[in-house]
A and B are shown apart, each in its own frame.
Chain A
Amino acid sequence: MAMTLYELGGKKNFRYCPFCWRSLMALKHKGFDDFDRISVYYRDRTPIAFTDQDRVPVLVDGDHWVSDSWDIAKYLEDTYPGRPTLFGDPVGRANAQFISAWVLQLHKPFLTAILMWDAYQHLDPADRSWWRADREPRFGKLENYKHGREESILEWRKLLSPFRVTLSEQPFLGGHAPAYADYIVFGSFQWARCVSKLELLETDDPIFIWRDRLLDLFDGFARAAPHASA
């Protein structure tokens, strides 16, 4: 039976939620190609009301549903052990948690601020007033985020230094081949690529080269996604 992934919808056919991209890449890694994708919007969560929570991604597999990208990855790994592995073994699964925690440091405050305005531009138009009302009490006026981003990017790149070292030693976080740890980080880069024309990375950065490898996976699945520079 085909699976369904509920993900955040943006304007037109933009899909940029970083956590949804983790799940999309995990599904492709597991060899699933024919899953359905259903958009959920900030203003209306009724499509996932059956889950008794209001966040995407949500994966539905037969009569089973899972929310939260980490739980979705674990579900896929445990339910389909005969397919390509996301974690390798229990140590690989445990270590991936550290990478997930590290990515949160990449998001706040820098990446969230860098992408705030561009993300706003890529919302479904009917979501804009909801989003502004939700974000501005926490982050201040959205318009404040239109400027100073280049300087923030320079600072943000420094946070990537451990990752840069690793990728100068091996092609993927998973070692010789991509693993879920790669998709954890990639989701954030894909988020940026989908909503923003800003270049987060220099072209000779090992991370840039790694991102290209990820964009090429699964017949260029992520590269083909609608993105801001298209």
Chain B
Amino acid sequence: MTIALYELAGRGDTKLSPHCWKSVFAIFHKELVFERVGIKFFEKDRLAFSGQSLLPVLRDGGTVVSDSWAIATYLERTYPDRPTLFGGDIGEGETRFINDWTNKIQIFAFRRLFIRDAYDHVDPAEQAHYRLTREARFSESQELVISGQAVNENDVAPPESGYGGAYGGTLEAIQSDRETRINNVRNLMEPIRMVVSDQPFLAGDRPGYADYSVLGPFIWAKSVSSFRLLETDDPIHAWRDRMFRLFHGFGHNTGYPV
């Protein structure tokens, strides 16, 4: 049976969603052969078969699964004899928290660093739409905007404390202070840093879904930007390099060199 992963696509080969990258790596981890299908913002009607409009979507034979976490748990239960993503029930429970941390803290912080760079990688015919919707989401009244739309909550987490910098405005303004804000973002990543200083991967001696959750935003970042997220002597840099080398250097070969 053919497995297909539907991902949010931009201009050319660029993929635009950190959540989709989590699923790509989860499928690699399960050693499955799959086809990648890019879906642009204006092509969401092609997802009608899934009964919803968010990406990623996995199609495995006759089974359709949307949402990256649901995809991960589906893969783990459907392919239990392949390398494990979670280890067991406790590992899965903890990984869910790490995934939620990624969604609420890491992705939000990263998004503000790259939102204008990401715009450059959106299909030109969709850039006006992208600017309009993203600037609205980042505006001060974003909660009102969200309440009127079916958007993925994870996609537009509200501002949490400590990220620094002004909030809202144009894509250019949102990204403009990143040189000063980058240190806040690096500090936010301290839990990752502490763990990978002690052990090679978040999941221990081998990577697991906790690693792919946290890696997703890093791959998304290098897909759209060469901005230096990490200092080379940061333990997270060494971990990221280990992750980039997986699956024949897939991460290294994606997007900009960083």
Interface, chain A (partner B; CB < 8 A): 85, 87-99, 101-102, 104-105, 155, 158-159, 161-163, 165-166, 169-170, 172-177, 179, 181
- The 11 sampled A-B contact pairs (Cβ below 8 Å) are A88-B91, A89-B90, A89-B91, A95-B91, A96-B94, A98-B202, A104-B190, A162-B97, A162-B104, A169-B96, A173-B97
- Chain A residues with CB under 8 Å of B86's CB are 91
Is B210 a contact partner of A98 (Cβ separation < 8 A)? yes
Q: Main SS of the interface on chain A?
A: helix
CA distance A155 to B203 in the complex (A): 30
B239 within 8 Å of A by Cβ?
Answer: no
Is A94 a contact partner of B88 (Cβ separation < 8 A)? no
B217 within 8 Å of A by Cβ?
Answer: no
The listed residue (A92, A102, A159, A165) touching B91 by CB distance below 8 A is A92
Interface, chain B (partner A; CB < 8 A): 84, 86-98, 100-101, 103-105, 157, 160-161, 190-195, 198-199, 201-205, 208, 210
Report B87 CB to chain A, min CB distance, Å: 3
CA distance A217 to B50 in the complex (A): 41
Report B160 CB to chain A, min CB distance, Å: 5
Closest A residue to B108 by beta carbon equals: A161
CA distance A169 to B99 in the complex (A): 12
Q: A91-B87, A170-B96, A172-B93 are in contact. Are A159 and B204 (CB under 8 A)?
A: no
The listed residue (B87, B97, B160) touching A163 by CB distance below 8 A is B97
- Chain B residues with CB under 8 Å of A99's CB are 94, 97
Is B89 a contact partner of A175 (Cβ separation < 8 A)? yes
Report A204 CB to chain B, min CB distance, Å: 18
Is A174 a contact partner of B89 (Cβ separation < 8 A)? yes
Is A176 a contact partner of B100 (Cβ separation < 8 A)? no
- Chain A residues with CB under 8 Å of B98's CB are 95, 98
CA distance A170 to B105 in the complex (A): 20
The listed residue (A98, A104, A159) touching B94 by CB distance below 8 A is A98
Q: A94-B202, A158-B161 are in contact. Are A101 and B90 (CB under 8 A)?
A: no
Closest B residue to A86 by beta carbon equals: B90
Report B108 CB to chain A, min CB distance, Å: 10
CA distance A158 to B188 in the complex (A): 13
Most buried by A among B93, B103, B202, B204: B93
Closest B residue to A176 by beta carbon equals: B89
